[in-house]
Structure 1
Amino acid sequence: MVNGARHFKLALEEATAEQFALHARELLKWNRKINLTAITDPQEVAVKHYLDSIAPIRFLPRAASLLDIGSGGGFPGIPLKILMPGLAVTLIDASRKKVSFLAHAGRLLNLDRFQAVHARVEDLVRRSPRRAERQAAAAGTSTDSLPGSFGLIVTRALASLDEFLSLGLPVLAEGGVMVAFKGRMSEEEIDFGRISRAGLSVTVHRYELPYLRFERSAVILKSRSGSMVRDAGGTD
């Protein structure tokens, strides 16, 4: 991990690398019982999960809060939280079993200002704070910052940028940033018109994961303060 991070000009302290390793061990342990990841080779886990999660960090804003949509085993939310401990991080997933793992991982890593929420984002936006509290209590999680808005919203789970926009825009703070972690992609896959109508600008940062030579893209959507439209539908 330490050497791999240097590929992205990141200097990881040994203590930070050990936190990644602790999470990885627990991930693979729980993976024997619940489906957290199809990747089980230790080197591939390190590269495809951890290095991929932190690769675009130099392009990310120093936001106060982060929402990870469809976090699964905790990617990219947990690695980003470890590197940016001041972030208030919310991981959301529709699988109760995965959320149980995420909450456990947060306790194991002693992460503060961290919560795992069992919900779908679209339901989260609609439901009342009281109902959110009841559902979170049942899952053993909290709702300290929900519902609300987030300065940084990330996802590796959503295949469609349109879906990411639809889910993320209602909870994106003014001046906030959305980041979709994707494979190799071309500009033809990006609906620039919809993004512009939403009051966002878009930048695609392409990078290659070390050792395995996988090509990846970080699609960064920045809101232009005062011009963001919460519901910017597709083309007519």
Structure 2
Amino acid sequence: MLTVWHQAINLTAHRTPERMALENVADSLTALPFVPPGCRLIDLGSGSGYPGLALAVAGLVGEAALVDSIRKKARFLAVAAHAVSDAMRAAGGTPPTLAVIDSRAEELTSDGDHAEAWDLVTVRAVARMKRLAELALPLLRPGGSLICWKRDDGRGSLARELEEAQVTVGRLGGRRPEVHQVTLAPLADHRLVLVRRQH
């Protein structure tokens, strides 16, 4: 489905099914150890459905909201979410509650339905950490977590980015970011940055 839609609306930078499987699916699933069973997850800038839809399909998530302000991507997400739910039911499973939100992340932080309402916020390839903290931390309930997918160029740029974000993270109730190396060999430069919101 992603391959077909990609030809029309440019959903991913990866052109081959093999690269899509590695860089989208496998990369998304590296966060599974940090996903609490039955949690409410909101994925900002969901685009092609990664990581939010992939984590929802993995069976741990109770509810997932996929957010993208680009209408054609939101349309794809709605079709994909419906197809995933149907496939899970056909296989005898119970799909998570899936919703697509056609909105900018900035608009959700002051929305009573979303502010401090989510257990987990996921963000992949959207912005620098300081901006991600501003968008994501207000959506987390106390004790919730933000997971960001980042890359480490080996020259200290990720460490500098996190240091630059630290004041903002603290002001918004976040703890110091934890950096977790991805152990999948082809994704050796990938990192998961985890920020927990204080109780």
TM, length-normalised to structure 2: 0.83
Q: CA 1:97–1:126 in structure 2 vs 1: closer, same or farther (change >3 Å)?
A: same
For 2:161, give the aligned amino acid: E
Task: State the distance in 1 between where 2:132 and 2:38 align.
Answer: 19
Task: State the distance in 2 between where 1:83 and 1:113 align.
Answer: 13
For 1:53, give the aligned amino acid: S
Alpha-carbon contact 2:134-2:168 (below 8 Å) kept: no
**TM alignment of 1:189-200, pairs within 5 A:** 189-190=161-162, 191-200=165-174
Tell me the CA shift for residue 170 of structure 1: 2.0
The Cα RMSD (Å) is 1.9
SS of 2:31 mapped into structure 1: helix
Deviations 1:181-200 (A, max 9, x none): 01115322213333233332
Question: Residue in 1 aligned with 2:198?
Answer: 224
Task: Report the number of matched residues.
Answer: 182
Larger CA Rg, structure 1 vs 2: 1
Question: Residue in 2 aligned with 1:22?
Answer: none
**TM alignment of 1:58-137, pairs within 5 A:** 58-62=33-37, 64-110=39-85, 111-126=95-110
Tell me the CA shift for residue 72 of structure 1: 0.5
Question: Residue in 2 aligned with 1:23?
Answer: none
Q: CA 1:45–1:214 in structure 2 vs 1: closer, same or farther (change >3 Å)?
A: farther
Q: CA 1:83–1:123 in structure 2 vs 1: closer, same or farther (change >3 Å)?
A: same
Structure 2: any 5+ residue segments left out of the alignment?
Answer: 86-94
**TM alignment of 1:167-182, pairs within 5 A:** 167-182=135-150
Q: CA 1:48–1:95 in structure 2 vs 1: closer, same or farther (change >3 Å)?
A: same
Question: Residue in 2 aligned with 1:183?
Answer: 151
Q: CA 1:86–1:209 in structure 2 vs 1: closer, same or farther (change >3 Å)?
A: closer
What percentage of residue pairs aligned between the two structures are identical? Answer: 29
Q: CA 1:97–1:108 in structure 2 vs 1: closer, same or farther (change >3 Å)?
A: same
TM, length-normalised to structure 1: 0.71
Alpha-carbon contact 2:74-2:101 (below 8 Å) kept: yes
Task: State the distance in 2 between where 1:189 and 1:152 align.
Answer: 22
Alpha-carbon contact 2:52-2:64 (below 8 Å) kept: yes
Alpha-carbon contact 2:43-2:65 (below 8 Å) kept: yes
Alpha-carbon contact 1:183-1:216 (below 8 Å) kept: yes
Question: Residue in 2 aligned with 1:4?
Answer: none
Tell me the CA shift for residue 83 of structure 1: 1.1
Tell me the CA shift for residue 208 of structure 1: 4.5
